[in-house]
């Protein structure tokens, strides 16, 4: 779909999924702006990508990145360290949305499977999801399974909702990084993906040409809800850290 040169901000553009987001967005006709922390990474993007320097941990450095954007795809993240997850996984979402202010934009956020299991750094991924929902903007939240652990013939997209026990290895599900990026970018133009939160897996077979029928099978997140459809109610707002509650209050659009 040609997006008429609307502008997409890729947050986490230099990451292993973010690079695919940039390529997919260009392929679908977006004007792409890549947020980077180091200006030296500018040369690593295809021609035509606008590179903007900013620090996700500092909202005051992000004004240029969010100026005039129509959509944002978040693929930034850390692994395993709760302190880093609070600063980057959660803080990055908070700071970008704070810099955006009241302006409209469609959002696509990459989270993770097991976001509701209350283990390790997943709580901060989930809190980042909550900020996106509370912002009042149109969104899609994708929780990918194990990245690039799929078999060579395993490309049929499978989107799931509802918590389940996880083993902590690729037996929990697998998906290609390229496909995660493609789902995130295509969700921005899909009414069927609006206000949907889901795990993204793959099964044996070719990738679907049309993603909308797959999006359409999913339950929509309840209006005003902090969590996704069919998520466990195991993170009561009353037990959340005060600064997280304050962030939600600031970001919430009535």
Angle between helices 122-134 and 91-100 (to 10 degrees): 20
pTM, rounded to two decimals: 0.96
Q: How far apart are CA 95 and CA 100, in angstroms?
A: 9
- The pLDDT score that the predictor gives to residue 221 is 98
Identify whether the C-beta of residue 65 lies closer than 8 Å to the C-beta of residue 99.
yes
Distance of CA 21 to the CA centre of its chain: 11
Inter-CA distances, 232 with 14, 154, 168, Å: 33, 29, 18
For residue 4, pLDDT over 70 is answered with no
Looking at residue 2, its pLDDT comes to: 47
Residue 231 is predicted with a pLDDT of: 96
**Helix or strand or coil: residue 86?**
helix
Q: Is the pLDDT of residue 13 over 90?
A: yes
Angle between helices 122-134 and 242-251 (to 10 degrees): 30
Confidence of residue 5 (pLDDT cuts 50, 70, 90): confident
pLDDT at 55 over 80: yes
Q: Are 197 and 143 in contact (CB under 8 A)?
A: yes
* pLDDT attached to residue 1: 43
Question: What pLDDT sits at residue 254?
Answer: 56
- Given a cut of 50, whether residue 84 has pLDDT beyond it is yes
Nearest to 139 by CA among 111, 173, 179: 111
* Domains contained in the chain, CATH given: 7-251 (3.40.50.720)
User: What is the average pLDDT across 51-70?
Assistant: 96
Q: Assess whether pLDDT exceeds 90 at residue 164.
A: no
**DSSP-derived 3-state class of residue 102:** coil
Report the pLDDT averaged over residues 20-39.
95
Decide: residue 106, CB within 10 A, 0-12 exposed, 13-18 middle, 19+ buried: buried
The two tokens of residue 211 are 């993603």
When the pLDDT of each residue in the chain is averaged and rounded to a whole number, the result is: 94
**pLDDT by residue (tens digit) across 195-222?**
999 999 999 999 999 999 999 999 999 9
Q: Are 141 and 220 in contact (CB under 8 A)?
A: no
């Amino acid at each position: 779909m040609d997006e008429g040169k609307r502008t997409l901000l890729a947050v986490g553009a230099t990451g292993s999924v973010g690079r695919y987001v940039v390529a997919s967005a260009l392929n679908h006709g977006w004007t792409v702006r890549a947020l980077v922390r180091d200006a030296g990474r500018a040369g690593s993007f295809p021609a035509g990508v606008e590179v903007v320097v900013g620090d996700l941990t500092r909202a005051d450095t992000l004004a240029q990145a969010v100026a005039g954007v129509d959509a944002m795809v978040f693929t930034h993240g850390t692994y395993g360290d709760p302190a880093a997850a609070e600063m980057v996984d959660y803080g990055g979402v908070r700071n970008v949305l704070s810099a955006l202010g009241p302006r409209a934009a469609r959002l696509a956020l990459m989270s993770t499977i097991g976001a509701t299991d209350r283990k390790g750094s997943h709580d901060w991924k989930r809190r980042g999801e909550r900020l996106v929902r509370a912002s009042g903007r149109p969104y899609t939240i994708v929780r990918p399974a194990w990245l690039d652990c799929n078999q060579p013939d395993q490309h049929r997209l499978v989107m799931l909702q509802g918590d389940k026990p996880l083993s902590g290895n690729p037996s929990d599900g697998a998906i290609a990084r390229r496909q995660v990026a493609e789902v995130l970018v295509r969700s921005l133009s899909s009414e069927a993906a609006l206000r949907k939160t889901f795990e993204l897996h793959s099964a044996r077979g070719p990738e679907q040409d049309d993603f909308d029928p797959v999006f359409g099978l999913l339950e929509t997140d309840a209006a005003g809800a902090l969590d996704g459809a069919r998520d466990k109610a195991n993170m009561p707002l009353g037990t959340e850290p005060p600064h997280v509650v304050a962030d939600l209050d600031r970001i919430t659009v009535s």
